[in-house]
Amino acid sequence: MAATATGIHHRSYESELRLRATRAEYFRLALMGVLLVVLPFVLDNYWLSIANTILIAVIGAVGLNILVGYTGQISLGQGGFLAVGAYTSAILTERYDVPVLFAVVAAVIATAVIGTFFGLPGLRLKGLYLAIATLASQVIIEFVVRRDPGGLLTEGLGYIDVARLNIFGWQVERATFEQQWYLVLAIITVVAVVAARNLFRTGLGRSFMAVRDQDIAAEAIGVNLTRAKLTAFAVSSGYVGLAGALIAHYTEIVSWERFTLDVSITYLAMIIVGGLGSVAGAVYGAIFMSLLPVLIRTAAQQWGDAVPVLKDQLPAVQNALFGAVIIAFLIFEPRGLARLWQRAKDYVRYWPFRY
């Protein structure tokens, strides 16, 4: 591309439908691929475990972004849906000896069904009313897994122990736990992200965006609103259920503390910081918001003696920064990291001109 290119201009439908339009984008893809392959060889177990949690968060964030960023239906029920996925998969593998692969698929389906059910109010409600309705779904699901009526979920223990991952005889070993899990999670995450990216090249994905941008106009051009909204809830919840099931098998224990309202808020923060309505944004956001507490913890260890509040009130400092980051992004760059990256590229491309 010439140095003075003014933007990306498509001249045919084929080029418009392509996932990547410029050579730089291929380069970035290759870079990401190399990074994914190299990571397990250069990181120690601690950082690799963080990479693994990030990969799971990416799946959840991409799923939430399908609903919130692309379809415009806000959901505060993420934590509850994660719980549905985690509990379904854990109970199926532990109590009914279902192979992990099938249990995870069942968890995806179960979460999709429950997510669609709680999406039903979305047919009549918009914006803030929907936010409150999904808040209620979060509270209700959290209550059920916390109270565990009749010991149905955890047999009265309050938590479920999940066996080490074993996919048809391929056993995760203690010594190479993080490396093997990295392999599994990297493959699943790449598939999930590519699938999400492709979803928005199809008619279905475009109908989601039409609903977000102007629902009445969307209906006028023949988008079935009911179907589009419910499908969005189903697809999004399916992703979230997958993330929940992976959390269950990766952490090998399922208990309600992992699925509170704070989790829902963290995921919303991810997609807002990353960029609403952008798959890459969800990925950036998940990485950023997962690394933030780690960095704060490291900083606290480094300078804890000089700034005692860092060490004494670590959770509070973390939460304060979380809140401040959310507010700052919404006020200064509502379209998130994805847009910042775009602007940085434009700045370099047009330099020395401002625009």
Partner 1 sequence: MSTFLNLLAYGLADGAILALAALGFVLIYKATGVINFAQGEFLLIGAYLMYTAWVVMGLPMVVSVLVGIVAATVVGVLVERLILRPMVGEDPISIIMVTIGLAMLLKAVVQMFYGTNPRSQPAILPTGSVSFLGATLPVNRLLVVVIAAVVLTAFTLFFSRSKHGIAMRAVADDQQAAMTMGISVRKIFALSWALAAVSAFIAGVLLADLSAVDQNIASFGLMVFPVVILGGLDSVPGTIVGGLTIGLLTQFVSGYLDPGLATVIPYVVLVLILLVKPYGLFGETRIERV
Instruction: Check residue 68 for interaction with partner 1 (CB under 8 A).
Output: yes
Instruction: Check residue 303 for interaction with partner 1 (CB under 8 A).
Output: no
Of 180 and 231, the one with the shorter C-beta distance to partner 1 is: 231
Q: Token match 């990925």: residue?
A: 283
| 3-state SS class at 113 | helix
Token reading at 255: 């208990």
Select from 3, 42, 128, 175 the one that contacts partner 1 (CB under 8 A): 128
Least distance in Å: CB of 244 to partner 1?
21
Q: Token match 């979803």: residue?
A: 199
Instruction: Check residue 131 for interaction with partner 1 (CB under 8 A).
Output: yes
Select from 334, 343, 344, 347 the one that contacts partner 1 (CB under 8 A): 334
* Site for partner 1, residues 3 to 62, rule: CB under 8 A: none
If binding means CB under 8 A, how many residues of this protein chain bind partner 1?
Answer: 46
Alpha helices (H) along the chain: 13-17, 23-42, 45-65, 78-96, 100-119, 127-147, 177-199, 203-213, 215-220, 225-251, 261-274, 279-303, 308-312, 314-332, 336-350
Q: Which stretch binds partner 1 (CB under 8 A): 41-49, 150-158, 245-253, 314-322?
A: 314-322
Residues 6+ apart with CB under 8 A from 48: 39, 40, 178, 179, 182
* Site for partner 1, residues 273 to 292, rule: CB under 8 A: 276
Q: Which stretch binds partner 1 (CB under 8 A): 36-44, 123-131, 171-179, 286-294?
A: 123-131
3-class DSSP string for 143-165: HHHHHCHHHCCCCCCCEEECCCC
CA distance 189 to 283: 10
Of 106 and 282, the one with the shorter C-beta distance to partner 1 is: 282
Instruction: Check residue 269 for interaction with partner 1 (CB under 8 A).
Output: yes
Least distance in Å: CB of 84 to partner 1?
16
- By the 10 Å C-beta count (0-12 exposed, 13-18 middle, 19+ buried), 352 is classed as exposed
- Neighbouring CB atoms inside 10 A of 263's CB total 20
Least distance in Å: CB of 351 to partner 1?
29
CA distance 314 to 294: 11
Report DSSP letters for 1-51, one per residue: --TT--S----SHHHHH-S--SHHHHHHHHHHHHHHHHHHHHS-HHHHHHH
Of 128 and 348, the one with the shorter C-beta distance to partner 1 is: 128
Instruction: Check residue 98 for interaction with partner 1 (CB under 8 A).
Output: no
Of 180 and 266, the one with the shorter C-beta distance to partner 1 is: 266
Q: Quote the DSSP letter at residue 69.
A: I
Q: Which stretch binds partner 1 (CB under 8 A): 14-22, 33-41, 180-188, 308-316?
A: 308-316
Q: Quote the DSSP letter at residue 219.
A: H
Instruction: Check residue 326 for interaction with partner 1 (CB under 8 A).
Output: yes
Select from 60, 72, 119, 281 the one that contacts partner 1 (CB under 8 A): 72
Of 132 and 183, the one with the shorter C-beta distance to partner 1 is: 132
Instruction: Check residue 143 for interaction with partner 1 (CB under 8 A).
Output: yes
CA separation (Å) from 226 to 116, 122, 151?
11, 9, 36
- Cis peptide, bond prior to residue 352, ω within 30 of zero: yes
What is the amino acid identity at position 87?
A: Y
Of 136 and 199, the one with the shorter C-beta distance to partner 1 is: 136
Instruction: Check residue 272 for interaction with partner 1 (CB under 8 A).
Output: yes
Instruction: Check residue 221 for interaction with partner 1 (CB under 8 A).
Output: no
Instruction: Check residue 331 for interaction with partner 1 (CB under 8 A).
Output: yes
Select from 315, 351, 352, 353 the one that contacts partner 1 (CB under 8 A): 315
List of residues contacting partner 1 (CB under 8 A): 68, 72, 74, 121, 123-129, 131-133, 135-137, 139-140, 143, 147, 215-216, 261, 265, 268-269, 272, 276, 309, 313, 315-320, 322-327, 330-331, 334
